[in-house]
């Protein structure tokens, strides 16, 4: 499979977990190991748990680290339906995630090119490879549907 097709397969999986909690903003995240095997998946659980940090990416990173038994996620890929915020972009840098794949752009809070570019800041000691706009239309439609 070529890279773009692989990213789309993973994004469809992220889309499928995005609506797991009906009251939460539908964002889905998946973490893949270096061989492309799924380590974890999560939706946004901020409303469900009352935890301001329970964004899909944070939960997926925590679960992936638990599966691997270590905090370093070198060579792993984080796939998420929406451009990460500053918290999540910071967390994926701290986890040493190798590749970030995201769907829709988030001009109001995005920290991977929209407002900031945390994951590719040359001042940090780790930078992720980034692929944005994967299945962008479907990811954006999901968000629009929720806020309508
Ligand atoms: Zn976030």
Q: Which of 5, 8, 38, 57 is an active site residue? A: 57
CA–CA dist 113, 9 (Å, integer):
23
Q: Region 22-49: what's the mean pLDDT?
A: 96
Give the Å distance between the CA of 79 and the centre of ligand 1.
Answer: 13
Hey, which residues does 78 pair with through a beta bridge? 31, 100
Judged against a pLDDT cut of 90, whether residue 1 lies above it is answered with no
pLDDT in tens, 62-111: 999 999 999 999 999 999 999 999 999 999 999 999 999 999 999 999 99
DSSP string, 25-71: ---EEEEE-TTS-EEEEEE--HHHHT-TT--HHHHHHHHHHHHHTSS
Is-catalytic flag, 70?
no
pLDDT in tens, 57-73: 999 999 999 999 999 99
pTM of the model: 0.96
Nearest Cα to Cα of residue 101 among 123, 84, 122: 84
Q: What percent helix, strand, coil does the chain show, rounded to 5?
A: 40, 20, 45
Mark the binding-site residues for Zn(2+), compressed into ranges: 55, 85, 88
């Amino acid at each position: 499979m070529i890279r773009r097709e692989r990213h789309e397969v993973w994004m469809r999986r992220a889309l499928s977990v995005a609506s797991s909690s009906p009251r939460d903003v539908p964002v889905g995240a998946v973490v893949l190991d270096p061989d492309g095997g799924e380590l974890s998946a999560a939706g946004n659980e901020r409303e469900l748990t009352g935890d301001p940090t329970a964004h899909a990416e944070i939960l997926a990173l925590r679960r992936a680290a638990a599966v691997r038994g270590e905090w370093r996620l070198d060579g792993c890929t984080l796939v998420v339906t929406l451009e990460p915020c500053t918290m999540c972009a910071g967390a994926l840098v701290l986890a040493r995630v190798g590749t970030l794949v995201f769907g829709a752009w988030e001009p109001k809070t995005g920290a991977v090119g929209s407002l900031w570019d945390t994951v590719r800041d040359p001042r940090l000691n780790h930078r992720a490879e980034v692929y944005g706009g994967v299945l962008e239309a479907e990811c954006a439609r999901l968000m629009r549907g929720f806020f309508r």
